[in-house]
Every structure is written in structure tokens, then in C-alpha cells.
Amino acid sequence: MRIIRGVKNYNEKLPNPVLTLGNFDGVHLGHQAIFRKVVERAKEISGTAMVFTFEPHPLKVLAPERSPKLLNTFHGKMKLIEAAGIEVAICADFTRAFADQNPEDFAREVLHKKIGVREVYVGYDYAFGKGREGSIESLKKTGRTYGFGVGVVDAVQVEGAAVSSSRIRDLIAAGRVDEAAKFLGRHYGIEGEVVHGSHRGHTLGFPTANISTAHELLPSFGVYAVLARVGGSTLEGVTSIGVRPTFGAGPVSIEVYLFDFEGDLYGKHMELSFVKRLRGEAKFPDAQSLIRQMQRDVEQAKEALGNRLK
């Protein structure tokens, strides 16, 4: 997938662009339904499947105090969008000037003149432009004026609830990662570099890899059954997120114990997928109590991973 940073850097005419617009944080089942429609229509009209998105998240500019912790890094979001079959992603620089555009001006100048869009597909609750004044109906009206079609993709429901990024954030923040997976269509994941930690895990008989990550949203403090992808392999393990209160509370750490693994991981890139929360973080009276609990954690994790979402 080609990624074009900044609208000004898009200077070509691609065949029959079929496009969707949005932030797409999480790239959840609702977003995936829109992408499938875009890819399907692009194939039908020998067109180009495109996404128009923004960086940073609009609320980081317009109302930082209300800005959510994001489910994806930019790089992670682009990987997921590419996996959905999108060919070109235009990433606009979201500024106050960009936000203040009149909705019709944006549709005319960017969608029609700049991109030459043939069809636009949006979610059922889409709004755009200054003050989110641009409605789906106004976009359809502008489309009729400038010769592009507008389609609306209905909400995706899971167990009677509409899929949304905010719902997924709430579930992950509460540690309910197995429920969040139902809305994402995959396990929630983070990625980062393996760095040096306190090396206490070695002394306890559970050597761990410590992860430094740029992800904003971590599951709540506790112990999780996880899948770890590193060096082209997928390994099973247990991850602890928290401040290690048994040894005196410190900074937040992400520690991963991989089953039946020996080797040096320092400096390597690791992707973690959270399968199930096993328990909350706890302070133990001594190291032996912690070791006995960690042994139980491993057994419970192996059981959970055996029943995981495939």
C-alpha cells in the first residue's frame, strides 16, 4: 500500500478512485466492513481502493483534554488498513486550519478536484468538516453536484451492540481483552522493543522480556495470557503489566514470560496479542508466594491459549 503524507503531496490522477474517509482508530469490524465495500467496488469498476485519514487524531488538536488513548500507532493502523486490501492511503495533516474547512469546500476541492473520486463510502454515523457540520446527506448532495456517488455502510453489531472504537477502548482499559477481541475481529495488540529490565524474573525462575512501547492504551494492570510474535515466530506466554508492588512500586512495566523459550531477545521487535486476563496485579508477602502464583498463572494461560480466538 502506498502511503501519502499530506494532501499537498497527492499530485496524480489514479483510475476511478473509490474512497472512504475517517480516523479508523482500532481498524475494528465496523471499519473492516467499510474497507471491504471499497475494495469490492474498486474491483468492479477497475478502480483504485483508497483511504483518506488524518494524523494526529482530531481531538489531539481541537480538544487535547478529551483526546482518547489510541488503539493503534500510526504504523500499526497502516499495516491493518493494508491487510484489508486498500491500495492507497492519503494521510492529511490535521490542523486547526484543516478542521475549519467548509464541508462543501472540502468535498469540492479535495475529493472532486484533487482526487477525482468516483465513489465515496462512509459509516452510518459519519460527519465531517468544520464543527462536524458536513452530514451524510450534505455529502450526497455535493456528490450529485460534482459527479461522485456516496454509499453508507450500516453499523456492525456484535451480540446486540454496535462496534465502536470507544466501546473497545473501555473494554481494554478494564482488562476485558477477550471481549474486545469480538469487536476487533482479532486480539488487541501492542508492539515494541525488548529492553533491559531489573532481571528479577531470572532470579525467580521466570526470565522475562521487558517491552518498551509507543502504544497509548495498555490493558489494565494485571496478568494476561498472550501470543508474542518475534523474529518470524509466534510464541505463547504470560504478560504482566503494572508496577511490581511486591518489590516496591516502580514505573509501569510490561514483562513477558515466554513458555519453553531460550535465547537473547534484547533489541528485538516484539508484537504482543492479549488473549485473556488471568488476574489483577497483587502484592505478595514474599518471593516464594509470588513464584507459586506465577506457576498457577502459567497453567491458566496455557489453558486459555488452547481455547483462544483462532
The predicted structure's pLDDT at residue 288: 87
* 3-state secondary structure string across 190-201: EEEEEECCCCHH
pTM for the whole structure:
0.91
Distance (Å, rounded) from C-alpha 181 to C-alpha 171?
9
Residues 6+ apart with CB under 8 A from 112: 146, 147, 148
Residue 310's pLDDT band (cuts 50, 70, 90)? very low
Q: Give 271's DSSP letter.
A: E
Report the phi/psi class of residue 219: left, alpha or beta, with left for phi > 0 and alpha for psi in -120 to 50.
beta
For residue range 174-186, list pLDDT tens digits in order.
999 999 999 999 9
The predicted structure's pLDDT at residue 125: 86
The predicted structure's pLDDT at residue 289: 86
Residue 6's pLDDT band (cuts 50, 70, 90)? very high
Q: What average pLDDT does the chain have?
A: 91
The predicted structure's pLDDT at residue 202: 54
181, 188 in Cβ contact below 8 A? yes
Give percent above pLDDT 90 in the chain: 72
Q: Which amino acid type is present at position 274?
A: F
For residue range 251-298, list pLDDT tens digits in order.
889 999 999 888 888 999 999 999 999 999 888 888 788 889 999 999
CA distances from 89 to 18, 177, 205 (A): 12, 29, 46
For residue range 105-138, list pLDDT tens digits in order.
999 999 999 999 999 999 988 887 666 777 899 8
CA distances from 125 to 31, 86, 128, 292, 306 (A): 12, 21, 10, 50, 38
Taking CB atoms within 8 Å and a gap of at least 24, the contacts of 198-204 are: 198/244, 198/247, 200/244, 200/247, 201/255, 201/257, 204/287, 204/290, 204/291, 204/294
Per DSSP, the chain holds a count of helices (H) and strands (E) of 10, 14
Residue 245's pLDDT band (cuts 50, 70, 90)? confident
Give me the half-sphere count of Cα atoms (radius 13 Å) on the Cβ side of residue 275: 20
H-type helices in the chain, by residue range? 29-44, 58-62, 74-83, 96-99, 103-106, 136-146, 165-173, 177-184, 200-204, 287-306
Distance (Å, rounded) from C-alpha 74 to C-alpha 24?
10
Q: Which amino acid type is present at position 81?
A: I
Q: Give which of 113, 97, 7 is closest to 52, Cα–Cα.
A: 7
CA distances from 114 to 14, 106, 248 (A): 11, 10, 58
Distance (Å, rounded) from C-alpha 118 to C-alpha 34?
16
Q: Give which of 157, 147, 150, 253 is closest to 200, Cα–Cα.
A: 253
Distance (Å, rounded) from C-alpha 124 to C-alpha 121?
10
